[in-house]
Structure 1
């Protein structure tokens, strides 16, 4: 089975590649700049905003599975249009599509969000992820759309942000609650879903809700760092418009998957 990972130079994409290679699959990965750094992966430079280029690559590779992980935080063309181009090419080739979405498309509220709840974005990145979902579902109703949360692991931006805040170089918000997931758990879930016929949106996140400030404390405990100097604030105080309390209810995924979705306290203590 050939797996095409669009965005293989990213944090999650690289882990999907590693696990797919370890499972004995032929893996092709794309990148926009730099290179794919995973041994055993056939790398191709690709601009996902170029629809013709995406179609040509998928037609040449002829994958059984396409995993779409590309995004650029402030770039609608990559996050929204690029997702549509990947979905179109995958459907055209008859490939199984696993599209990666985000909890950023929700506005935030005290109650957890179920799998089937419609997007309610409050900032541009969330709107782009919502638009990407709409396009993917319209183009390929058989695709699975994985809504996830903060992705953690060695080398993740989230862990580095915590380290920077503990060193006084960044700020962690006390009012931004998320359900972090370990990158290895998420990649395993993605590949497992690729082998199923599950369609539509599925929340795949950790069971523990923590604030970014709480996450900083957990990182401090794991790494033996003094949390006394950790800088914290709230989004309102910082003048940042982003969702606050966004908790994903991933019980459906937990019942569907063999992959165990560990809580943040468990995998950071490992």
Structure 2
């Protein structure tokens, strides 16, 4: 099986490449990766050319740029159009939801309140229209091991006295990058169709997550500044998908506190 992975220079894409047991073709846009092919997902013709050249059996689309609509919304549509007939797993996000009193399961309808969430929701809609058999894998905050994720970098910056704060009103279900990458590869090889939720089982706010990271990394967890921020409870209920996976998605208290 030949697997094409987009966003291979990123934390998640790189972990997918590392864990894959099949032949992997990584792609990147700005930061080159060993053995990788440069591909701008905004360019439909370039996407089509790369996929025709590689002829993958499956694609994991992990590339995104949070501040850019074209990359995040139109890029996945370009991938889906060029990949017709090829197994596709698209990495989406919990912020396709705006927040509520109960966790969101796979049947919940997107209701984004941020431009990034709207871009991901638009991408989901396009992929469903082009390829109903594709997997839309929604996840949450991704946490690594060595300070490379956005949340970890923020925690280290705040602990060093840089400006900013952690929001206590933002509740998410963080996931370990290795657990997530393993789940995506399993989804690619399986027969699940449609929406899957692949987030951790523990719901925490940003401050709680920051303090767990700080404790793990030998920083003072009480030094982290915080503010309520706008309330946004976007817990993902991943229990249905978890029952269909061999990969166990660990809670943040386990993979950071253990």
Q: What TM-score results when the alignment is normalised by the length of structure 1?
A: 0.92
Partner in structure 2 of residue 264 of structure 1: 252
User: How far is the alpha carbon of 1:269 from its aligned partner?
Assistant: 2.6
1:49-88 equivalence runs, <5 A: 49-88=42-81
1:32, 1:47 within 8 Å by CA — same for their partners in 2?
yes
1:174, 1:211 within 8 Å by CA — same for their partners in 2?
yes
User: How far is the alpha carbon of 1:60 from its aligned partner?
Assistant: 0.8
1:16-165 equivalence runs, <5 A: 16-20=16-20, 23=21, 25-37=22-34, 42-91=35-84, 94-153=85-144, 154=146, 155-165=148-158
1:162, 1:215 within 8 Å by CA — same for their partners in 2?
no
User: How far is the alpha carbon of 1:197 from its aligned partner?
Assistant: 1.4
Instruction: Say which SS state the counterpart of residue 30 (structure 1) adopts.
Output: strand
User: How far is the alpha carbon of 1:220 from its aligned partner?
Assistant: 2.3
Distance 2:7 2:67 in 1: 16
Instruction: Say which SS state the counterpart of residue 79 (structure 1) adopts.
Output: helix
Query: Which of 241, 245, 253 is equivalent to 1:253?
Result: 241
User: How far is the alpha carbon of 1:18 from its aligned partner?
Assistant: 0.5
Distance 1:30 1:43 in 2: 5
User: How far is the alpha carbon of 1:163 from its aligned partner?
Assistant: 1.9
Query: Which of 188, 197, 203 is equivalent to 1:194?
Result: 188
Q: Which runs of 5+ in 2 are unaligned?
A: none
Report the RMSD for the aligned CA atoms in angstroms.
Answer: 1.2
Distance 2:76 2:193 in 1: 17
1:106, 1:119 within 8 Å by CA — same for their partners in 2?
yes
Instruction: Say which SS state the counterpart of residue 235 (structure 1) adopts.
Output: coil
1:167, 1:229 within 8 Å by CA — same for their partners in 2?
no
Distance 2:166 2:106 in 1: 27
Distance 1:168 1:210 in 2: 23
Partner in structure 2 of residue 12 of structure 1: 12
1:168, 1:231 within 8 Å by CA — same for their partners in 2?
no
Q: What TM-score results when the alignment is normalised by the length of structure 2?
A: 0.96
User: How far is the alpha carbon of 1:159 from its aligned partner?
Assistant: 1.1
Distance 1:69 1:196 in 2: 18
Q: Which runs of 5+ in 1 are unaligned?
A: 237-242
Query: Which of 204, 207, 216 is equivalent to 1:213?
Result: 207
